[in-house]
């Protein structure tokens, strides 16, 4: 049984050989300090500057290749995912 599971994992990995996961974390720390005559305030927060994760790849179909790509915004400031894919959903076809 273990040999079968290992074989399935190896075959799955080879099927995804033309698939790539990529992304970018872009964030910063914002610190502000306000002093008035009677009060002092400080605030620190994490700012999201456009982080994203994506997956792209290609697959041979007939004599052509299907090329595809999806990207998802991933804000790091509050840990939530936005509900939509960003404007990066592409498919294309190319000759070999």
Q: What is the pTM of this model?
A: 0.51
Residue 40 lies in a domain: yes
d(CA 38, CA 32): 17
Residue 6 lies in a domain: no
Residue 4 lies in a domain: no
Residue 78 lies in a domain: yes
By percentage, how much of the chain surpasses pLDDT 90? 2
- DSSP designation for 63: T
C-beta contacts of 16-19 below 8 A and 24+ residues apart: 16/57, 18/57, 18/58, 18/59, 19/55, 19/56, 19/57
Residue 5 lies in a domain: no
**Starting at the edge strand that comes first in sequence, how are the strands of the sheet with 85-95 ordered?**
19-24, 52-61, 64-73, 85-95
Residue 11 lies in a domain: no
**pLDDT tens column, 24-40:** 888 888 888 998 888 88
pLDDT band at 5 (very low <50, low <70, confident <90, very high): very low
Our count of domains for the chain comes to 1
Residue 23 lies in a domain: yes
d(CA 96, CA 58): 12
User: Residue 79: which domain range?
Assistant: 16-95
Residue 3 lies in a domain: no
């Amino acid at each position: 049984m273990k040999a079968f599971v290992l074989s399935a994992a190896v075959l799955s990995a080879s099927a995804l050989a033309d698939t790539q996961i990529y992304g970018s974390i872009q964030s910063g720390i914002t610190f502000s300090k306000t002093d008035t005559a009677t009060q002092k305030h400080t605030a620190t927060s994490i700012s999201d500057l456009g982080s994203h994760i994506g997956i792209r790849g290609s697959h041979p179909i007939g004599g052509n290749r299907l090329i595809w790509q999806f990207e998802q915004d991933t804000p790091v400031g509050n840990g939530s995912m936005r509900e939509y894919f960003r404007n990066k959903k592409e498919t294309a076809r190319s000759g070999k």
